Amino acid sequence: MLLKLMALFLAGMAVLAMFGKLRLPKGLSGTKRPGQKRLGAKRCPRCGRPQIGSGSCPCGHGKRKG
């Protein structure tokens, strides 16, 4: 009985994993992921890397002199 319960549990987890990896086409999903628009808009003008936070870019652009 316990073996059957474990087998059903593992089969259920496998089905959930398959649905979790499923990606919908752009037309069906309706919207982009949260933050995707803001992340694309905030890029370093010098190297083009996405800027996260308010610090300077790793390329050295935006460092304060002083």
**Higher-scoring residue by pLDDT: 27, 7:** 7
Indicate if the pLDDT at residue 66 is higher than 50: no
Residue 12 lies in a domain: yes
Domain range spanning residue 11? Answer: 1-26
Could you read off the pLDDT of 23-64 as tens digits, one per residue?
Answer: 666 555 555 666 666 656 678 888 888 887 777 888 877 665
Indicate if the pLDDT at residue 2 is higher than 90: yes
Residue 61 lies in a domain: no
**Higher-scoring residue by pLDDT: 66, 19:** 19
Instruction: Specify the residue for token string 């059957």.
Output: 4
CA 29, CA 23: separation in Å to the nearest integer? 9
Consecutive H or E run containing 20: helix 2-21
Consecutive H or E run containing 10: helix 2-21
Residue 21 lies in a domain: yes
- What local confidence, expressed as pLDDT, does residue 47 receive? 86
Q: How many domains does the chain have?
A: 1
